[in-house]
Chains A and B, each alone.
Chain A
Amino acid sequence: MVEEDTEIDCVLRPMNCEINLLSRSDGSTMFMQGDTTIVAGINGPMEVKSQKMAYDKLSIEVTYTPLTGPAKVDDRLIETYIRESCESAILVSLHPNTMICINLQEVQDSGGLLACAINASCLALINSGLSMKFTIAAVSCMIEKETGKIIMDPDNTQLKNAKAEFTYAFDSINKDIVCCHSVGRFSQSEFLASVDKCKQVSQFIFDFYREITKKYANTV
């Protein structure tokens, strides 16, 4: 319903988002970061099967569907990351004995898929109106093999000569790390430097969320 096209600095690829595009879901979004695109839909809070019921909190189920074929081990990893980060963001104790389903569909992958998936699910959560402690923003970065330079939000071609690859998610209040994923070899100082840089860049994503909400709140 709201289409947004904002060029955010040169450090991040341009982000694009359409909110509330699925009619049956309680909250949904199509989120693009560069060419990486994900559609996310949220259903719930709804009735829960007895084996998954938690008597003191909301249980969260995440289903990630890749572009082709059935979900593999890597996709299960994405599901786990999203479930854990969303659980920290949502006020889970407000809806005991219920569950929400987060469904994600990969549309295109050109690097930074995990970060894109986390951001898409956060936007869908915002759209669904579920009570949250804070919003989360995920940023990916890499360390180049030859130069050792930190490149923010790399795409597929840049990732080919990466020494290490990181994805971090931050909360919106204190910018603490909510989730962290890394691939490759790196030293401690490189790790800390990349955390620092991503933390600064995450503000752009929070600003983007706010802008989207602003556009949307004004139309309704």
Chain B
Amino acid sequence: MEVSVGDVVMPGDSLKDIKSTKKEGKNERENVILGPGLRREGDKVYVCKAGILKRRDPAVYYVDSYQKRYIPSRGENVVGIVTQKSGDIYKVDVGASEQATLSYLAFEGATKKNRPDLQVGDVIYAKMLVASKDMEPELVCVDSQGKENELGVLSSDGMVFTCSLSLVRKLLNPECPLFRILGRNQAYELAAGMNGRIWIKARSVQETIAAANAILAAEYTVASEMQKLCARIEKTLLLVT
């Protein structure tokens, strides 16, 4: 079946209209980028995931699908748990098919003598440096300038919980108001990994759990209802009278 942008697509559907966008530019051809859920076979483009087909300017096509299992992809920020220390690398569980490696030199200010103090069981926020289907994924906790930015070890008095990958994508969308509304009446610190793990720390245990519940409830809440959702949670926490 042929589908176009905005439709609900199934694996095996083929895309139409892709060629016509190529001609839109006067002389130069526009490059079409196929995102997740799409693949090219010969001169046809097939869908390989079920979801909603979306397009973003200039010509980026992708399928927005529901997923729970993380498949590593380069450049994404993830929340992981250190499971093993061996030699000069740490093994980190990020919820993918394989454990990721993290070099002890990949921290801000780390040298051969000055090792970072990481224990088994620590939660870290790191960036995927290498992610290919044939190789072990590799993480780093610094950017290309050698600075930490927001990456690194997350403090142990926070809480980590898992959710679906599509929820994380929804929350990290700049148009999603949840974090802003939630932050109006309570202070919290949060790290959302693209691997479906969220680390959160608020002022008290109650507030942490309440904020986590608000995030999980947001999966089936549209943006306009989020105000109501947060108000209800603040009421139960007695933050507002």
Contact = CB atoms under 8 A, between A and B. Distances in A.
Interface of A: 20, 25-27, 44-47, 89, 91, 94-98, 126-135, 171-173, 206, 209-210, 213-214, 216-217, 219-220
Given A95-B97, A217-B51, A27 B68 contact: yes
A20 B11 CA distance: 18
Contacts of A20: 66
Contact of A220 (B37, B71, B166): B166
Contacts of A206: 10
Contact of B48 (A97, A131, A217, A219): A131
B12 A132 contact: yes
A129 B170 CA distance: 16
Main secondary structure on chain B at its contact with chain A?
loop
Nearest to B166: A220
A126 B46 CA distance: 15
Interface residues of B, number: 29
A44 B8 contact: no
Contacts of B150: none
A132 B11 contact: yes
A96 B133 contact: yes
Given A133-B46, A217-B52, A217-B66, 13 more contacts: A27-B68, A46-B97, A129-B49, A129-B51, A129-B65, A129-B69, A131-B11, A133-B11, A133-B12, A133-B48, A172-B1, A213-B50, A217-B50
Contact of B71 (A45, A96, A126): A45
Interface in B1-30: 1, 8, 10-12
Interface in B23-56: 37, 39, 46, 48-52
A57 to B, nearest CB: 11
Contact of A47 (B10, B98, B170): B98
Contacts of B166: 220
A44 B68 CA distance: 10
Contacts of A91: 39, 48
A122 B231 CA distance: 41
Contacts of B64: 217
Given A213-B50, A217-B51, A127 B66 contact: yes
Contacts, number: 94
Nearest to B48: A131
Contacts of A94: 133
A96 B10 CA distance: 23
Contacts of B170: 220
B227 interface: no
B11 to A, nearest CB: 4
B219 interface: yes
B185 interface: no
6 contacts: A46-B69, A130-B49, A134-B11, A172-B11, A206-B10, A213-B51
Q: 5 closest Cβ contacts across the A-B interface? A: A134-B12, A129-B67, A132-B11, A131-B48, A26-B69
B175 interface: no
B68 A129 contact: yes
Contacts of B46: 133
Contacts of A26: 67-69
B134 interface: yes
Interface in B129-161: 133-134
Given A127-B66, A171-B12, A209-B10, A45 B48 contact: no
A132 B38 CA distance: 10
B97 A213 contact: no
A62 B165 CA distance: 25
B97 A47 contact: yes
A132 B97 contact: no
Contacts of A95: 71, 97, 133
B8 A213 contact: yes
Nearest to A20: B66
A172 B1 CA distance: 9
Given A133-B11, A210-B8, A219 B220 contact: yes
A209 B47 CA distance: 15
Contacts of B69: 26, 44-46, 128-129
A5 B126 CA distance: 44
A173 to B, nearest CB: 5
